[in-house]
Amino acid sequence: MVIDKRHLDVGLIGNPLSHSRSPVLFDILFKQYGIDGSYRLLEMSALNDLPDYLRIDSSLAGFNVTIPYKQDIIKYLDAIDANALKIGAVNTVRITRNKNGKNGDYYLTGYNTDYLGIIDTLRSFNLEKIGNAIIFGTGGAAKACGYALHGLSVNYCMVSRSFRGSRSYSTESGLKYHVIRYEDLTYYKRTENTLFINATPIGLWPDVNKSLHLPDSLILPNDICFDLIYNPTVTSFMKQGADKGATVKNGLQMLESQAVAALRIWLEQE
Ligand code: NAP
């Protein structure tokens, strides 16, 4: 990464943010890449506070977006990257100052670096051996997982508490995903070497003892259980997988990889 000397002021928008390790992670990355940077937690109880906030705080060069705003942020953007548009979720925004956008004298461009972090993590598994994938959750991170798996030619379905059938990623994407319900898992014809991905907040700190209600016979020893959660380091989903002899992984590599991709965007080196 080529670094210039200006100060990089960035942050994270979401609610709640108390679980986030992003400030610690970005401090490490700033040191590693020799960047004079600061990363702030910008907890917002409503996203419609954002335009006023950005008008007042003119030093901010960009921000990450997390729960629950990854999809709602899109209507505040002036431009969106093609992958983020297809996924229908944005986790990184670059602010261009001195350029008028629809909400004031700044211009917002949205990206999705989650799916880059997911691809990076998936490549650490033996993808050749993976049969199908089952993603728990249907939110922004689940869609980024689906989009990454689609790019890697791995078949997948998503599991939802409330929906069964086919859905589109976004109106523009032309891509569809198949959704089953948790009760369908008992009868679901799984493949050998299934990749399970937890893309729900179940098990996230401080509710570390909550776990997904899965049929006892679902996970087998040759499977992989990848939890997007990284706090706690060993999650309830990873324990469920490890109890069945599966390979388990948390979301730390994804977090690091999507953060480096976000830095490149803010430094205009993507
Ligand atoms: P989101 O948009 O709020 O979606 C979460 C999904 O989980 C929902 O669509 C919902 O699907 C399901 N869900 C919510 N509450 C649930 C519950 N009580 N029981 C079962 N399912 C529930 O959140 P997200 O942004 O996709 O994030 C999902 C998870 O990924 C979070 O834990 C987040 O911390 C993690 N994440 C990690 C990284 C990383 O870098 N490691 C990056 C992004 C996200 P249904 O309503 O269809 O059931």
What is the tens place of the pLDDT at every residue in 186-220? 998 889 999 999 999 999 999 999 999 999 999 99
Cα–Cα–Cα angle for 237, 202, 43, nearest 5°?
135
What is the tens place of the pLDDT at every residue in 71-92? 999 999 999 999 999 999 999 9
Q: Is residue 263 pLDDT above 90, yes or no?
A: yes
Ligand 1 proximity of 114 Cβ (cutoff 6 Å) = yes
Ligand 1 proximity of 200 Cβ (cutoff 6 Å) = yes
CA nearest ligand 1 atom 18, residue: 202
224 C-alpha to ligand 1 centroid (Å): 19
Reply yes or no on whether 70 is catalytic.
yes
pLDDT class of 18 with cuts at 50, 70, 90:
confident
CA nearest ligand 1 atom 22, residue: 200
* Ranges 13-22, 85-94, 226-235: which has the least confidence: 13-22
96 C-alpha to ligand 1 centroid (Å): 30
Choosing from 5, 31, 70, 86, the catalytic residue is 70
138 C-alpha to ligand 1 centroid (Å): 7
